[in-house]
Amino acid sequence: DAGVTQSPTHLIKTRGQQVTLRCSPKSGHDTVSWYQQALGQGPQFIFQYYEEEERQRGNFPDRFSGHQFPNYSSELNVNALLLGDSALYLCASSSITDTQYFGPGTRLTVL
């Protein structure tokens, strides 16, 4: 039974570019949450998707957007990248009966 998977594992972009990160949830999970983790910090909630809609959002600008597909997989898009967007981006999946399990993350470096 595959857990949460994310791609790519690493990514290097330059300021002003756009990036798309991908996540496949754990089998049986229908909800996907995205978190940003800066070095030395705990993960910070970006948003959560359920039934292909954004259900809850943290304190992140509109440059951060997402999408959930009918198979429950999800994408995180970040536009107009800033140096401060460099971080580990974590995807977590869950269901009404199961708590959040995290993927290995995507390390984004913005130069």
Partner 1 sequence: GQQLNQSPQSMFIQEGEDVSMNCTSSSIFNTWLWYKQDPGEGPVLLIALYKAGELTSNGRLTAQFGITRKDSFLNISASIPSDVGIYFCAGPGLTSNTGKLIFGQGTTLQVKP
Among 89, 84, 66, smallest CA distance to 76 is for: 66
Give whichever of 74 and 94 is closer to partner 1, judged by the CB atom. Answer: 94
- Gap between the Cα atoms of 73 and 93, Å rounded: 9
Contact call for residue 108 and partner 1 (CB under 8 A): no
Name the burial class of residue 88, with classes exposed (0-12), middle (13-18) and buried (19+) by CB atoms within 10 angstroms of its CB. Answer: middle
Among positions 23-62, residues that touch partner 1 (CB under 8 A) are 31, 33, 35, 41-45, 48, 55-56, 58
Among 29, 66, 100, 108, binds partner 1 (CB under 8 A): 100
Which residue ranges make up the site for partner 1 (CB under 8 A)?
4, 6, 31, 33, 35, 41-45, 48, 55-56, 58, 88, 90, 92, 94, 96, 99-105, 107
